[in-house]
């Protein structure tokens, strides 16, 4: 893992958006896995601003995770976030997008559906990740063992305090997520970390010790990971 320290959030957003453009130019047919949350928002905004410099018609996207119980119209859902910040601005058609259904009554079947589509259209070419305060990647939470493929995860107390769902009236306990093997099979991974509240978990990550209690540490096993880190909140 290569760690790139950025002095400001604006610099991080510029560097990562430029990297995404270079990667998309090199592989215009890539399957892109897109994280949600606070960390990638500015990056997606910059990418949308610069989209005239790339061809996105051949790209396809897969949603990394989703709160179980929230649908596409819920402002706190990952679906709503991605549609707002990335998919709609880039004019990505539904046939080029793989996503968990947060409102499904058959969550296990939905995991199998997403896994099948990933196997059919994958592997992921470019995976954009954030880092949870407890070290989770997507909804792969710290545990004695990690699941390799798409599954419905019991969410930690840390995940359930996320700002995305602070205003929802839906009781949330579970989340859909791609598994660690799915993520590690990506050709390239970009990990984005920013904010003073991420200082402690970044310190743990840079110890380079791989543990299921720190799922993000498994990224050390991947041959092509770039981590962009800004300790500042702005």
Per the residue annotation, which of 141, 151, 162, 194 is the catalytic one? 141
Contact 174, 68 (CB under 8 A): yes
105 is catalytic: no
141 catalytic per annotation: yes
151-163 burial, b at 16+ Cβ within 10 Å, e below that, comes to bbbebbeebeebe
CA distance 152 to 108: 7
- The answer to whether the beta carbons of residues 15 and 228 sit under 8 Å apart is yes
Catalytic residue among 27, 38, 83, 134: 134
Strand partners, 67: 175
Are 138 and 132 in contact by the 8 Å Cβ rule? The answer is no
Q: Is 120 a catalytic residue?
A: no
Question: Catalytic one among 23, 65, 66, 79?
Answer: 65
Q: Which two tokens stand for residue 37?
A: 């949350």
List 136, 151, 182, 194, catalytic entry: 136
Residue 85 CA to residue 144 CA, distance in Å, equals 35
Whether residue 65 lies in the annotated active site: yes
228 φψ region: left (φ > 0), alpha (ψ -120 to 50), beta (else)? beta
As annotated, the active-site residues are: 65, 134, 136, 141
């Amino acid at each position: 893992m290569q760690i790139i320290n950025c002095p400001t959030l604006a610099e991080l957003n510029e560097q990562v958006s430029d990297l995404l453009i270079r990667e998309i130019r090199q592989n215009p047919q890539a399957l892109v896995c897109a994280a949600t949350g606070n960390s990638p928002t500015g990056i997606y905004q910059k990418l949308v601003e610069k989209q005239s410099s790339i061809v996105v018609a051949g790209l396809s996207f897969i949603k990394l995770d989703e709160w179980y119980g929230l649908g596409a119209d819920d402002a706190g859902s990952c679906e709503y976030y991605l549609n707002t910040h990335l998919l709609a601005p880039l004019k990505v058609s539904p046939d080029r997008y793989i996503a968990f259904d947060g409102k499904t009554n058959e969550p296990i079947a939905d995991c199998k559906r997403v896994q099948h589509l990933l196997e059919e259209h994958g592997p992921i070419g470019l995976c954009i990740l954030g880092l949870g305060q407890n070290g989770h990647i997507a909804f792969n939470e710290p545990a004695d063992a990690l699941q390799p493929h798409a599954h419905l995860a019991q969410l930690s107390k840390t995940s359930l305090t996320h700002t995305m769902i602070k205003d929802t009236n839906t009781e949330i306990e579970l989340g859909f997520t791609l598994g660690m093997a799915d993520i590690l099979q990506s050709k390239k991974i970009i990990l984005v970390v920013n904010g003073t509240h991420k200082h402690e978990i970044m310190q743990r990550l840079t110890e380079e010790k791989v543990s299921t209690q720190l799922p993000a540490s498994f990224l050390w096993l991947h041959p092509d990971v770039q981590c962009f880190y800004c300790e500042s909140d702005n």
